[in-house]
Chains A and B, each alone.
Chain A
Amino acid sequence: MFNIISKTKYAYIFSGTLTLLSIIALFTWGLKYGIDFTGGTLMEVKFENQLPINQDIENSLKDLNLKSLTLQSTGNNSVLIRYASEDDKINQTVVATLSEKYPDSQNLRTDYANASVSSELKTKSLMAIFWAIIGIMAYVAWAFRRVSHPVASWKYGAGAVIALIHDVLITVGVFSVLGHFWGVEVGVPFVAALLTILGFSVHDTIVVYDRTRENLQRSSAKEKFPEIVNRSLNETLVRSINTSLTVIVTLLAIYIFGGESIKYFSLALLVGVTFGTYSSIFVASALLVTSYNLQKQ
């Protein structure tokens, strides 16, 4: 049996540092928002023959006075064109201009959102995350309502929520770094990934808490709360790791073979699930013990 609870100090330091770094990254670099949050147009244009250099394409679009135009080549002979736009007319002009200048070009996909759509998506995303946290906290508190000794049931809810905020913050921090150095954008899919991480992280935490609950009901009076928690952690350890392994394996399959469009979506899930497993083992239960110790003093 591993004495996981005795390593709480290191886990707190590790988690605290990562969370802090994530927050710092978020405040200094922020996130690189995609079209769905900033509004504007993203086009992927494929070229049948030679891929023209970006400067060429830029010159051919010069007369249209596109605001904050950026071009980025992708692997498969296509170029991603981004610009700010508030009216669809400009998109039609861009398409017409490109197909005139490059008859071999093909518009693979177009994403366009004007300000009202993007601000709405932003609000909706924040609300979704907010309600997911509230809903999960309420559910965990309800599910553990019969466990009130020695730690109150709402503390299970709070512990699960702190662990999931930790997972989400670190995932956001990782994408802040990815956005700053590699231009990885976050949009609505990223929010969906975050919410899934929320669900998964709590799922994992609940399994451990569940075992703690069961062991509390059957334990002898001699066994102290920290020992019960530690035993529960050990008993669920293999399961936590195996489950995460299967999920990580499938996510890796999506990340590697699933194509460009869902690559970063699965990457976000990968990061979140990994830290979710870590936090449910090293953080969530440790929080219960810490609160128990504080209570005793």
Chain B
Amino acid sequence: MNSRQKLRLKFILVIVLAVVAGLIAYPQAVSKIPRLFSVLNKPKINLGLDLQGGIHLEYKADTSQVASNQVGDAMQAVQDVIERRVNAFGVAEPVVYTTKSAGEQRLVVELAGVKDINEAKKMISETPFLEFKDESTTTPEQIPQDQLDKTNAAAKAKAEDILKKALAGADFAQLAKDNSQDPGSKDNGGVYDFQKKGSFVPEYEAAVFDPNLKNGDIYPKVVESQFGWHIIKKIEIRGDGDAQEFKSAHILIMKTNQPQPQTTWAATGLTGKNLKSATVQFKSQGLSEPEVSLKFDDDGTKLFADITKRDVGKRIAIFLDGEIITAPTVQTEILNGEAVVTGNYTVEQAKALVKRLNEGALPVPITLVGQQSVEATLGQVSLAQSLKAGLIGLLLVIIFMLVYYRFLGLIASVALLIYSALMISIFKLSGFTPWQITLTLPGIAGFVLSIGMAVDANILIFERTKEEIRKGRNILSAIEEGFKRAWTSILDGNMSSIITAFILVEMGTGFVKGFAVTLIIGVLASMFTAVVITRTILRFILGPWIEDKMWLIGAKKENI
């Protein structure tokens, strides 16, 4: 193959590339050929959230309760759960991924084209956090019995003393105010307004309902109850039978009791992370008593066995979002990793609980730390505006090139159009590779900016060409020289743009990334179109015929 044939082949390749890229970029050109159109129209540009509307949510996961070597698993589990939730919502191509930044575990959820942003957000943020806790009882220190007796004897003596004063005619209300240890009544003279019979301790009511006691009388003895010693004054009884109500007043001197053991719930380490599945089942074959059956994964099974072993006879509580939903008592050690939650559920309640457990049990709690949401209509406006800006920019650059560089400018403009078609094709076709490019609003800005920069390579070459012509070279060799000499400048200059663009990609946030990725691809593609394509076209088209048509180049020979 001689050099002329090689050039012809190259030129044909350029034409083929231009046609293919052009058709992919603008399939409407062949809309009259339906079969071809339907194939070409398949690849679509993946538009970012800012152009089609949608929501970007960034959550912080609190992994402080998770062993450090299990954080990765826990985050994977969070991601799986949120993915299931989001899928159920029916958004096309939801994106859920975890990242680590600033020492925090983060989860990012991106929902494109979502209609009701607040509804979507609610659905994700209300994802429940499931936790199993066991009962632990703590017994505060006991008070020595003799000391306790002494204190109580003194309290009783004080009560007797007050009763004496009251019976002697002292103002009951004042006595209550001064001495009563019942914070609920002391300030209004110890009075309790009408209460249903049975709502007070029996010792108290026995005194009030003593048939010998008249309205307004004080019961002649100190009454002892679990709370302490009461001096009781009957005020009124009304109603009959079960509806009987009474109004009374009392002065309470409190009794000191041994502190009671207290029940608290302690974390067991078993959380929703360990839940494999939850299902509704029914007791005794009927549809009457629905139960929720839980199945744990391997780790969960082991943990659950340990917990049930040490907690036989005690209760285990299942917490959802920090609230107890059920606290069944452990009957026996459970080794198979299955648990049944019996509660007074209706079928609907059981089903809802199961759905929540299956879809939403999160192994670690998450909080929203960042949000960017764009309403779909705003996205469409942005898309239309930026495309218009891009077209106008492209047009202005072409006009400039035509005016200033004439014939060379025409070739450069053709290269620029091929460049634009190529870029759009790369955006569209990237969807078939693992490296799909998402076009964002700043991405379009980056694209438009890269048009300006793409032309720079051609300007460098053409200026150099003109210079060589001025030095006395003929047009053809001047053009060759222009390409050769301008190349180092083009490469060095574009390298610096690529370096900064890579640093921008590393910075990583959505806005910046879209811009930088477009800029990198743009710079690389523009080097190809401005150098290889322009050169091939020029070499093929130009021949000796150009030599006497200097005006076509827009250059003047000065020093001949």
List chain A positions with a Cβ less than 8 A from chain B: 44, 87-88, 91-92, 95, 106-114, 116-117, 119-121, 123-125, 128, 131-132, 135-136, 139-140, 143, 188-189, 191-192, 195-196, 198-200, 202-204, 206-207, 210-211, 214, 235-236, 238-239, 242-243, 245-251, 253-254, 256-259, 261-262, 265-266, 269
Contact = CB atoms under 8 A, between A and B. Distances in A.
A128 B396 contact: no
Given A124-B507, A257-B385, A246 B400 contact: yes
B449 A210 contact: no
Given A246-B397, A253-B393, A112 B463 contact: no
Contact of B372 (A108, A109, A196, A207): A109
B496 A140 contact: yes
21 contacts: A88-B368, A88-B371, A109-B373, A109-B378, A112-B370, A114-B368, A132-B500, A189-B511, A203-B453, A206-B496, A214-B485, A236-B463, A239-B459, A242-B463, A243-B460, A246-B459, A253-B389, A257-B389, A259-B382, A259-B441, A262-B441
Nearest to B500: A199
Nearest to B449: A250
B368 A139 contact: no
A66 B125 CA distance: 22
B499 A199 contact: yes
A92 B118 CA distance: 8
A276 to B, nearest CB: 11
B496 A199 contact: yes
A20 to B, nearest CB: 26
B449 A196 contact: yes
B66 interface: no
Contact of A206 (B60, B453, B489, B507): B489
B438 to A, nearest CB: 16
B257 interface: no
Nearest to B464: A239
B374 A109 contact: yes
Nearest to A254: B389
A30 B60 CA distance: 31
A121 B102 CA distance: 9
A55 B492 CA distance: 56
Interface in B359-406: 367-375, 377-378, 381-382, 385-386, 388-390, 392-394, 396-397, 400-401, 404
Given A119-B102, A206-B496, A262-B441, A249 B393 contact: yes
A20 B421 CA distance: 45
A91 B367 CA distance: 13
Given A136-B499, A265-B445, A235 B371 contact: no
Interface of B: 50, 58, 60, 101-102, 104, 117-118, 121-122, 125, 367-375, 377-378, 381-382, 385-386, 388-390, 392-394, 396-397, 400-401, 404, 441-442, 444-445, 448-449, 451-453, 455-456, 459-460, 463, 467, 485, 488-489, 492-501, 503-504, 506-509, 511-512, 515-516, 519
Contacts of B372: 109-112
Question: Could you tell me the dominant secondary structure of chain B's interface residues?
Answer: helix
B369 to A, nearest CB: 5
B401 to A, nearest CB: 8
Nearest to B394: A250
A136 B497 CA distance: 9
B118 A254 contact: no
A62 B237 CA distance: 51
Given A132-B503, A195-B503, A246-B459, A203 B494 contact: yes
Contacts of A131: 503, 506
B379 to A, nearest CB: 9
Given A136-B496, A239-B459, A112 B507 contact: no
A259 B445 CA distance: 11
B373 A110 contact: yes
B504 to A, nearest CB: 5
Given A109-B378, A120-B102, A259-B382, A139 B396 contact: no
B104 A116 contact: yes
Contact of A247 (B118, B125, B374, B456): B456
Given A120-B101, A191-B512, A235-B467, 6 more contacts: A110-B117, A114-B368, A136-B500, A189-B511, A242-B400, A243-B456
B442 A204 contact: no
Contacts of B393: 249-251, 253-254
Contact of A249 (B400, B453, B508): B400
A112 B509 contact: no
B460 to A, nearest CB: 6
A189 B25 CA distance: 28
Nearest to B450: A250
Nearest to B490: A207
Contacts of B448: 250-251, 253-254, 258
A243 B453 CA distance: 7
A113 B368 CA distance: 9
Contact of A88 (B367, B499, B500, B507): B367
Nearest to A123: B102
B366 to A, nearest CB: 11
Given A120-B101, A249-B452, A258 B497 contact: no
Contacts of A111: 371-373
Given A257-B392, A269-B449, A243 B459 contact: yes
Contacts of A245: 400
Contacts of B516: 192
Contacts of B508: 124
B368 A112 contact: yes
A138 B361 CA distance: 51
B493 A117 contact: no
